[in-house]
Structures are given as structure tokens and as C-alpha cells.
A and B are shown apart, each in its own frame.
Chain A
Amino acid sequence: MLPAAPLHALEIWSNPQAVATRIEKALGFALPVMNRSAGNDAITLLRYEPTVWLVEGDVAVIADTLGDDGALTAIGGGIVRMRLAGPHWRDLLLEGGFFDTSAAAFPAGATAATVIDHVGVRLWAESDDACIAYVPASYALSLHHFWDEALPLLGA
């Protein structure tokens, strides 16, 4: 489990192209497309929903660009981040779920929301060696335990 981080939902409800251009200008990189991530050392944007980005980091720059076209809402209190690291993380995510985690289908940099052992999770393939799972805080311990139990199966 990772330490708590400031997380926000960024939703754009109108003029998406114009907002995207303003944000790109402010951040220095483009908003990621659906199921992809983008970011730099200070801020990471993960796209899980058509109109919503999960933003990790300081959102002040974005807030200034939104106007009446969107809003930021803090959500970090309800999410626990877990890092699944090592060569078998793709295999581990196949336990109790049904999402294709192969490198071809879910390359480094990709994001996806899916269900693992009845828990809705959001995944971010941080690199080929690690994946961050964003888990509802209420289920975090249970899912951690589930993954822990499955570890001996990996590579077996």
C-alpha cells in the first residue's frame, strides 16, 4: 500500500476541445486519451471515464483553466493506492478478475477500470515492472489479503 496522495476527479462537461487546449498549455502536455495516462514529476492524469480524469498531484494549475466548463472534486480520501511490483503483476491481476493484462492489451502507460474479486478497481500500468491499483478504501484490506493469498500461485 502506498501513502495517501491528493487525488481529484477532473470532469469536463462542455467545450472539451477548448478546455483540453487550455490545460495542455498550462501543463505542458496533452490530456491523455481514454484509458491512457500522461504526466510529469509534479502531476499525473489518468483517464478512466469519457469525461473524467483522475488527477494525482497539485491541481491548482488546472483549476485556473476550467472556467464554467468543468470542475475538480477531491476524492483522495476514499481511495487507497497499492503498487503491484515484480514480473508477475500481470498474472496476479488475472486472479479473480476478467481483464486482459497482457502487455499487448495493457501496455505500460495504459489505464483501465475493472473488477477484481468483486471490487471495482482502477489500474495504471506504471511500467512493465509495476502497476498501481486504485482501490476503494473500504475494500483495500480485503483485496490486499486476496492478493496476498494468491501470491504462492504465481509462476507456479
Chain B
Amino acid sequence: MYQITCPHCGPRAQTEFTYERTTDSVVDPAGDTHAAMQALYTRANPMGLDDEIWRHTYGCRAWMVLTRHRVTHEIRAVKAIGPEALP
């Protein structure tokens, strides 16, 4: 079970988090069909690092991007996303 360092809560257990999708599969609602389907249906799926959107669903409910290695499971970086927030 990973230890994910939430940008807001510090190190927490993976069981509090959910994986959503990779950053390159974010569908732009204003985009055309081809671009949307490319985003939705193709993945690099690398045997290495990828940027993934996760949510601290059962903690502070905030969203973040994890740069995570798909083989070693090392979490190289975590970056908060979402509206501007106080510290």
C-alpha cells in the first residue's frame, strides 16, 4: 500500500485515495470529437513514469497529479490541482 504525500495533508495511506486517469486523458469539453476520443481511448501506458490524476477522496477530497512509476511504484512528485486555497 502506497504512502501518498497529499499536498494538503502530508503522508497518508493509499486507501484514502482514488486514481482517476492520466493527465493526457483529460478530455477538453470544448474539443472536437476526434481529439476527445483520442484523449479518452489512447494511452501511453508506459512501463515507467506517468502523470496521473488522483484524489484524496476519503481524506481532504482534493485532487492532485502524481508522477508515479508503474513498475517500481515510486512516487516521484505530487502536485496539487484545483481552486486556489489558503495554506
Which parts of B19-59 form the interface with A (CB within 8 Å)? Answer: 58-59
- Given A16-B85, A50-B8, A50-B80, check contact A120 B58 (CB 8 Å): yes
CB within 8 Å for A31 and B86 given contacts A48-B60, A50-B62, A98-B15: yes
Contact, CB under 8 Å: A50 / B60: yes
B7 CB, nearest partner CB in chain A, Å:
8
Q: Is the CB of A20 within 8 A of B58?
A: no
Contact B59–A113 (Cβ < 8 Å): yes
Task: Determine whether the beta carbon of A50 is less than 8 Å from that of B85.
Answer: yes
Identify whether the interface residues of B are mostly helix, strand, loop, or mixed: loop
Count residues of B near A (Cβ-Cβ below 8 Å).
19
Chain A residues with CB under 8 Å of B9's CB are 34-35, 112-113
Most chain A CB within a 10 A radius of its CB, from B8, B12, B13, B86: B86
CA of A113 to CA of B80, assembled, Å: 17
Interface contact B62-A17, CB-CB below 8 Å: no
Q: How far, in whole Å, are A112 and B59 apart by their CA atoms in the complex?
A: 7
Which residues on A are within 8 Å of B, measured CB to CB? 12-14, 16-17, 20, 31, 33-35, 48-52, 98-99, 112-115, 120
Pick the 5 closest A-B CB pairs, nearest first. Answer: A50-B85, A98-B13, A115-B58, A120-B58, A16-B86
B59 proximity list for chain A (CB < 8 A) = 112-114
- The minimal Cβ–Cβ distance linking B41 to chain A, given in whole angstroms, is 32
Q: How far is the CA of A14 from the CA of B86 in the complex (A)?
A: 10
B84: which A residues are within 8 A, CB to CB? 14, 16
B62–A49 CB distance below 8 A? yes
A17 to B61, CA, bound (A): 21
Taking CB as reference atom, which chain A residue is nearest B10? A35
Please give, as numbers and ranges, the residues of chain B lying within 8 Å of A98 by CB-CB distance. Answer: 1, 13, 15
